[in-house]
Structures are given as structure tokens and as C-alpha cells.
Amino acid sequence: MRSSRFLVVVGVVGMLMLSGIVFAADKAKATFFWAQYDGVTEDYRASLQDAFNKVNPNTQIDIVPVAWDQLKDKLTVSLAGGTPPDISIIGTRWLIEYNDLNQLAEPGKYVAKSTVDDILAGAKEGVVKGKLMGLPVAAGARFMALNNSITKNVPTTMEDLEKYAVQANNPPDHYGLFMVGQKNTELTEFAYYFYAAGGDFFAKKADGSWGKSTVNSPAGIQALTFMNKLANQDKVVEDGYLGMTRIQGHPLFYAGKIGYVMIGAWVESAMKQAGATFPVTYAQIPGFKGHPSTPLIITDSIAFFSGGKNLAAAGKFIDFWYKPEWKGKFDELAGFPPVTKSASSLPAFSSPMYKVMSVAAANAKGWPLIATWDQCQDVLWDAVSKVYLQQATPKAALDEAAAAIDKINNVK
């Protein structure tokens, strides 16, 4: 009898253990490649994972930390091996490559509409062929900083900016406006003025893809003509600007030598490190008369991969993470302004700089997502340089650039 009872007990326990194994196997577990940002601690990552898994016992997330400089290689290996993560943080530009290889899934099919609607419109840079294929995870909209020891006039139009920069200019003691002149990997300087004139880099086709280059549109000519006037006629920009990149030139602002600069969220920490003590006002990058403020925004995104095993679980995790108490804390730790409307109202983002950045993000526009963008930028830098050096008029330089860009993209 004892042996029979023992066998029954063992059998019941075995069945329970087996059912537990089956139950565990039935859990939907999603994998998330988590790019590591300065300031975002391991404690935050672990707490987020534990909190989601605790309230969602049947839907689990495995947040895998990956250094940024290793992330692209790790994704390449996992995709080639047929074992992609369900979701991953990526550089937004990578969306084009993954979309062309049919490796992406549309986030809106797995993330709640309320979550997507809570994301600021200006942060939704990850649109490929008319569809939102990447959710913004970190977004930095550019804005204007004023050195109040030089000027307190806040421009509401680009025309105002020119007038105030002329008034603030007193070289070599200080200069009215910061400008980048050396060709480098960033085309932000032209984008600031181009977007302020209502410009777009490309025409859009009916299917949402990019068509012919429109850099030689009236907006492009207005922008480059204005930039050239500031530099070569008004002479309100720093001496030696033609030999300066952003990294080389911004220390002039931190040192109190520039009145107006178009810049990003790093400005406060950089000023602190430089020992700057002058008062600062933050404002929107203005549009030209008749055009709204349309600042540049640069983003990282979250991609959903079609080969993932538990995309529904991944979507459920995103809904959890994008609640203000979690996503707002991530933005605060990383030093980015919020990408969601709900987090924008949190006390942590009530400082003057964050308030300005939140407004900027709502009105901002990103880079065009096109595979040849690096080549296109190179051509445009040549056009800008020719105008600065008085080797071509803005119209001639941009006409030549537009034709070269269309050739690069095989567009007729």
C-alpha cells in the first residue's frame, strides 16, 4: 500500500512538474536588444524588466544590453542566423536597410494605438514609404541658445535673427551668430535654414517613397542666399568659420564669444564642464516670414523584426515601457527630452531648456530616410562651400547639386 501511495504521489508530482514545464513553455517571451546609453543605469534596465515580468506572468521580456558600437554587428549576425530579436533599438537610418531586406514588421500592428498616439508627431522620424516602421526611443530636437550677456532679443523670424545678430556682433570680442563652415559628416547648418524656409530635400512619390531632389527649390535658394549673406555680407559669424566643425566651434559659445547658436541638449552639460557663468535663454529656431518654426530633430528608433518569435509580447512590453513613469525616467537618465506627450508634463522636464525642446520636438522634422543620404549630404556640402567661397551663386550651386543627387538616386 505504501508503495502504491508513493507511486501515486510521485505520479501526481510528476504531472504537476510536467504541467509546470508546459506552462513555462507557453509563456510568450520576447527579446529586446537594448542599446546602452550614457546615464541609463543597469539598475534601471533590470528594474524595468522585472517590473514588466512581474505584472505580466504570461508575457515576459528579456532585455539584452548591447554596447552601441557592437549593436549593428550583433543584429547582422542574429538576422543572418535566423534568430533576430523581436525588437531592438537602432539608429533610425538603419530602417532603410532592414526594410529593403524585408526584415521589419510594422510596429502599429503590435503596439496599442494609444501608445503610438502619445508619441510626439515631430519625433516620428522612422517613416519608410509612408509607414511608421520605427518608434522613436530617443529624440533630440535642435533649438536656439542666446548668451544673455551679449543679447536678450529673442527672434521670432529668421529676418529678426539677422537683425539681432548684426546688433550683437562686436568682433573680435564676440560674434553675433555661430555658423559651421567646414565640410563634415553633418549637414545640420543647411537644414536649419532650409527647414525654416519650408523646404524638403526630396519630392514624395504617391507610394510615399522619395523622388527628385528639391534642394534647388525656392526654399533652398532662400536658405543658402541667407546663409551666405550672414557670413559674407553681414559678417556676423565667427572668424575662421570655414575651418570649423560643430565640435570645434561650439566651445566659442561656451566661452561667451557667441550671441546666438543653434544647438542640442548637450549644451547645458557642455557649458557646465567649460565653466560658463553667463545667463542663457533658450528659444525656438525661427522660420522665415510666412513659415512656422520647423527645427531639425535627430532620433534613434525601436524596430520590430518580422522574424521575431513573440512580436505580440514585444508590443505589450512597449505599451508598458512607454508609460510616463518608465519612459520619462529613461529620457531623464539619458538626458533626452521626452518623445511622448504624457512624459513631457513630468516635473523632471520642467526646466526652461526641456520646455523649449518639447515644443521643438512637436514641430520638428528629421532627415529624409534614403539609403544614399551620406552621398547626398556630400554633394550638398560642396554646394554650400562653393557659395561661401564665392565660386557659384546659390541657384547655380543648388541646381548642380540637385542634378547630381538625382543621378546618385537614378531619378529622372
Residues 6+ apart with CB under 8 A from 225: 394
Residue 11 lies in a domain: no
Residue 19 lies in a domain: no
Same domain? For 382 and 252 the reply is yes
Radius of gyration of the chain (CA): 25
Query: How many angstroms separate the CA atoms of 190 and 382, rounded?
Result: 12
Nearest to 109 by CA among 307, 273, 314: 314
For residue 244, count other CB atoms closer than 10 A to its CB.
21
Residues 6+ apart with CB under 8 A from 76: none
Grid coordinates given for 117: 498616439
- Choice among 60-64, 241-245, 406-410 with the minimum mean pLDDT: 241-245
Grid coordinates given for 350: 520642467
Query: How many angstroms separate the CA atoms of 33 and 308, rounded?
Result: 12
Return the DSSP state at 131: E
Share of the chain above pLDDT 70, in %: 94
- Mean pLDDT, the chain, rounded, equals 91
Q: Residue 269's pLDDT is what? A: 79
Of 346, 363, 380, which residue constitutes the final position of a domain? 363
Q: Are 175 and 244 in contact (CB under 8 A)?
A: no
For residue 60, the enclosing domain spans 27-140+299-363
Residue 310 lies in a domain: yes
- Give 252's strand partners: none
Task: Give the pLDDT mean for 246-255.
Answer: 92
Same domain? For 135 and 150 the reply is no
pLDDT for 207 beyond 90: no
Q: Residue 10's pLDDT is what? A: 43
Mapped onto helix, strand or coil, the DSSP state of residue 176 is: strand
pTM equals: 0.77
Residue 179 lies in a domain: yes
Q: Are 280 and 271 in contact (CB under 8 A)?
A: yes
Nearest to 65 by CA among 35, 90, 86: 35
Task: Give the pLDDT mean for 21-31.
Answer: 66
The alpha carbon of 232 is separated from its chain's Cα centroid by a whole number of angstroms, namely 32
Q: Are 370 and 205 in contact (CB under 8 A)?
A: no
Grid coordinates given for 185: 559628416
Q: Which long-range contacts (CB under 8 A, 24 or more apart) does 217-220 make?
A: 219/194, 220/194, 220/394, 220/398
Residue 6 lies in a domain: no
Same domain? For 404 and 255 the reply is yes
pLDDT for 60 beyond 90: yes
| 24 — pLDDT class (breaks 50, 70, 90) | very low
pLDDT for 411 beyond 90: yes
Q: Are 75 and 90 in contact (CB under 8 A)?
A: yes
pLDDT for 5 beyond 50: no
Q: Residue 332's pLDDT is what? A: 87
Which segments of 205-245 does DSSP mark as H helices, in order?
218-228
Same domain? For 73 and 187 the reply is no
- Choice among 110-114, 264-268, 283-287, 387-391 with the minimum mean pLDDT: 264-268
Q: Are 265 and 335 in contact (CB under 8 A)?
A: yes
Q: Which long-range contacts (CB under 8 A, 24 or more apart) does 267-275 make?
A: 267/145, 267/353, 268/353, 269/335
- Choice among 102-106, 165-169, 186-190 with the minimum mean pLDDT: 186-190
Same domain? For 329 and 233 the reply is no
Nearest to 249 by CA among 148, 144, 240, 142: 240
| 26 — pLDDT class (breaks 50, 70, 90) | low
Same domain? For 88 and 187 the reply is no
| 345 — pLDDT class (breaks 50, 70, 90) | confident
Share of the chain above pLDDT 90, in %: 71
Residue 93 lies in a domain: yes
Same domain? For 216 and 110 the reply is no
Query: How many angstroms separate the CA atoms of 310 and 59, rounded?
Result: 9
Return the DSSP state at 216: T
Q: Residue 2's pLDDT is what? A: 40
Number of domains making up the chain: 2
pLDDT in tens, 61-120: 999 999 988 999 999 999 999 999 999 999 998 999 899 999 999 999 999 999 999 999
Q: Residue 4's pLDDT is what? A: 45
Residue 199's CATH number = 3.40.190.10
What is the torsional sign of CA 68, 70, 72, 77? Answer: negative
Nearest to 341 by CA among 120, 116, 113: 120
Task: Give the pLDDT mean for 372-397.
Answer: 95
The alpha carbon of 55 is separated from its chain's Cα centroid by a whole number of angstroms, namely 31
Q: Residue 206's pLDDT is what? A: 84
Q: Residue 185's pLDDT is what? A: 73
Q: Are 253 and 145 in contact (CB under 8 A)?
A: yes
Task: Give the pLDDT mean for 170-195.
Answer: 93
Same domain? For 174 and 192 the reply is yes
Residue 20 lies in a domain: no
pLDDT in tens, 42-51: 999 999 999 9
Q: Are 120 and 340 in contact (CB under 8 A)?
A: yes
Same domain? For 290 and 337 the reply is no
Same domain? For 204 and 284 the reply is yes
Query: How many angstroms separate the CA atoms of 218 and 149, rounded?
Result: 36
Query: How many angstroms separate the CA atoms of 49 and 395, rounded?
Result: 54
Q: Residue 12's pLDDT is what? A: 45
Residue 273 lies in a domain: yes
pLDDT in tens, 134-164: 999 988 889 999 999 999 999 999 999 999 9
Residue 57 preceded by cis peptide, ω within 30: no
Same domain? For 312 and 266 the reply is no
Q: Residue 90's pLDDT is what? A: 95
Strands (DSSP E) found in 96-239:
104-105, 127-128, 131-132, 134-141, 143-147, 175-177, 202-204, 210-213
Same domain? For 72 and 192 the reply is no
pLDDT for 308 beyond 70: yes
Residue 163, H or E segment: helix 158-168
pLDDT for 402 beyond 70: yes
Q: Residue 19's pLDDT is what? A: 44
Task: Give the pLDDT mean for 171-197.
Answer: 93
